[in-house]
Structure 1
Amino acid sequence: MSQSNRFLCTNGVVSPSPDTPPVTTLLEAHPGAYTTTRTHNNGSELLFWGRHLTRLSNSTKILLTTRPKLLFENPDKNGAPFLGFLTRSVKWDSVIEALVNDSIRKLFPTALKERKCKEELAITALVSGNLEKLSNSGGEFDEESISEFLDVYLHIAGYDPPLYGIRGNGAHLAVVGPGRDVANAKYSDWVRLRKSLEKLRPPSITELLLSNDGDRILEGCLTNFFVICLKDNNEDNNFAEKKGLQTFRSVEIQTAPVADGILPGVIRQVITQICLQIGIPLREVAPSWSQRELWVEAFITNSLRVLQHVDTIQVPDSWESVESKTWKEITWVEKRFEAEPGRITSIIQVCG
């Protein structure tokens, strides 16, 4: 992501560009639900913007009802009005959509005008609860005024998307720790929590994967994870693997189900729909490292990278070693793929 050309709009007020921090700094500074996407086609369109607004609203509702500490600062400090806030029936989708789109209208034209040539824009919307405002109201409010108790931040920054399909431009992954809490919501505190995993990142690794047992791989810290797996190690599949002619009949795509505790990513949903439309079998099951000999391709997805093929995956030889202080203390076992996208991965990328 570009180190220059950052823009911020807070509650509808645009900040001077030089004062805009990196997006990670913004997320660490405020609790709340957030979503990130980017522009496409030289800034001409927002990638799956409607889906991201829905995801942002869903995350807000999940945090509000299950983990208010991840949405509000000091939620226990003003208990009475907060309980009243929880019990209200609010049309969160329309409220959040209106607030975020208002910020987009105010900030996006400037960011688009000042972006570098051929650069896309990364867009992050953060919704944070403001209990101080709620407390000052005495807990009295109606649906029309609910937006007054929310802080909405819109951050835009330059982004150079990785080129797809270039040999050697794949992701290098390492499994380093357990899955997230409240994984079905995207919340800003995860930016701070995932820092503890960074000590185990080998220098060449571009994304960290999560697993609760060292075998079943859930997702990445920033991505969803998929493998293309031979269905069975039978004669037909052995022939397909040797000849490089894997058919839809002989393979399936595997990715962990939301019920296992993963983020229901926007691009993950798109991949699922593509597979259904073109007839590629997809099974929602956490890919098992013990079955890696059947893996013929792998890729990761999120709304910035969209889809990136995987070159290598590393897993600790002993799962207990993830308690180590640094990556140097771990003995790694590696799975290596072709250094360019495989056939099934390429089909999905083209259809997307």
Structure 2
Amino acid sequence: MGSRFVFTNGHTLQLDAPPIKHFLQANPGAYTTSRTHNNASCLLFWERHIKRLSHSIHILSILAPRLLFKTNQYHSPIVLPSNALQLLINDSMRKVLPTALKERSDGEELAITTLVNASLDGVNACQDVDEESLSQILDVHVHIESYVPLAFGTPPNGAHLALAGYGRPLPTAKYSDWVRIRKTLEKLRPPSVTELLLSNDGDQILEGCVTNFFVVCRKDLDSDVGKALPDYGNEYPFEVRTAPISDGVLPGIIRQVVIEVCRSEGIPCREIAPSWSEHEIWEEAFITSSLRLVQHVDSIQVPTEWQSALSKTWKDISWTKKQFQGVPGMITTLIQEKILEKAILEGYPISDMRAS
């Protein structure tokens, strides 16, 4: 696709739109990013994305209206009617997809970011939000650009991570202002690093700036872990760990799918923040996002002195590094395969959206 597109409420706004990070920085609101799958025939986990977007709007309207509204307006918390947001967004998508698909090259997928913000212009501040008033209050912006997924398992496509900052504010909602906030972390990004990790204490790793973070640990070398694990018949001598939502991480779509896959496959999985002090027992690591799905980790580096590191740049920091084997491990590969199966089962056919 030669250009990036931005559509607002189904109407073309820009045919030569800015990159997504610049678009998000310029516009307040709740957002979600999905992509097409199988040669742009369906949308990945679309209904899950709409549910999370609806939840984010509700959270922002209660806890941080300034992150949702275009101006400093007050409104009681926005509770969206059942399926109303999906109908509104799907209506926009029906209008924008023909243009985007026409410009797409064969073999490319589409990265689709849906940003929703609010305005009370012409609406009574005490008015209940119903399906009729929803389109008056909310603006739906759709940013679309081409996306070529990384080939899973190819050694050069592994992620290189560095621990660089504190956890995100208001982590239960996904909102565009985070793009501006996380820019301050870039001074700690070494040149080879592809994703920055977050921690509140320099040891318990929460997530990445744009990803969720998982490790696969040996469980036979950690007696405390062993006591805490359910009986899985010792089929797997490992457990998967990722930080719980209660620690302050974004409830990522693929994060939840990974947990579901582990349960269905009998892979021990605990929602507990991976601890850098135990990195010797980490056998595999991977990150997840709606664009990458699963990406194996090649290396992780952490400042040797956490508190002082945050006031420095990457060149002035002494790093401790863990190197993995360079290719996805057995558990990471199995999880990736099962996620692709679920992607097919839960794919939202674009043909259905355009016909509805």
- Whether TM exceeds 0.5 here: the answer is yes
Q: 2:107 aligns with which of 75, 97, 118?
A: 118
Matched residue, 2:277: 290
- Match of residue 147 from structure 1: 135
Q: 3-state SS of the aligned residue for 2:241?
A: strand
Residue 108 of structure 1 corresponds to which residue in structure 2?
A: 97
Is the Cα–Cα contact under 8 Å of residues 9 and 107 in structure 1 kept in the other structure? yes
> Structure 1 CA distance, aligned partners of 2:321 and 2:25?
33
Q: CA deviation at 1:94?
A: 2.3
Cα deviation digits, residues 124-160 of structure 1 (max 9, x gap):
00010114x1xx4343645221320111101110011
Q: Which amino acid aligns with 2:267?
A: I
Alignment equivalent of 1:312, drawn from 262, 277, 299 = 299
**Displacement of 1:107:** 0.6
- SS at the partner of 2:155? coil
Deviation at 1:168, TM superposition (A): 3.0
Tell me what 1:187 maps to: 175
Deviations 1:278-320 (A, max 9, x none): 1000000000000000100000000000000000000000002
Name the CA distance, whole Å, in 2 between partners of 1:64 and 1:310.
36
Q: Structure 1 pair 171/100, CA: closer, same or farther in 2 (3 Å)?
A: same
Q: Which residue of 2 aligns with 1:327?
A: 314
- 5+ residue gaps, structure 2, are 224-233, 340-356
C-alpha change, 1:87 and 1:56, in structure 2 (3 Å) is closer
The letter for the 1-side match of 2:55 is N
Corresponding position of 1:55:
52
Residues 123, 87 of structure 1: alpha-carbon distance in 2 compared, 3 angstrom cutoff = closer
Matches within 5 A, 1:220-299: 220-233=208-221, 248-299=235-286
> Hey, what does 1:244 align to over in structure 2?
none
TM-score (structure 2 length as normaliser):
0.88
Structure 2 vs 1, CA of residues 88 and 27 (structure 1 numbering), >3 Å: closer, same or farther? closer
Percent identity over the alignment is 55
Which residue number in structure 1 is paired with residue 7 of structure 2? 9
Cα 1:87/1:314, change in 2 over 3 Å: closer
Q: Does the 8 A contact of 1:125 with 1:152 survive in 2?
A: yes
For 1:100 and 1:117, locate their aligned partners in 2 and report how far apart those are by CA, in whole Å: 26
Instruction: Detail structure 1 runs of 4+ shifted over 3 Å in the superposition.
Output: 87-90
Q: Does 1:128 align with 2:117?
A: yes
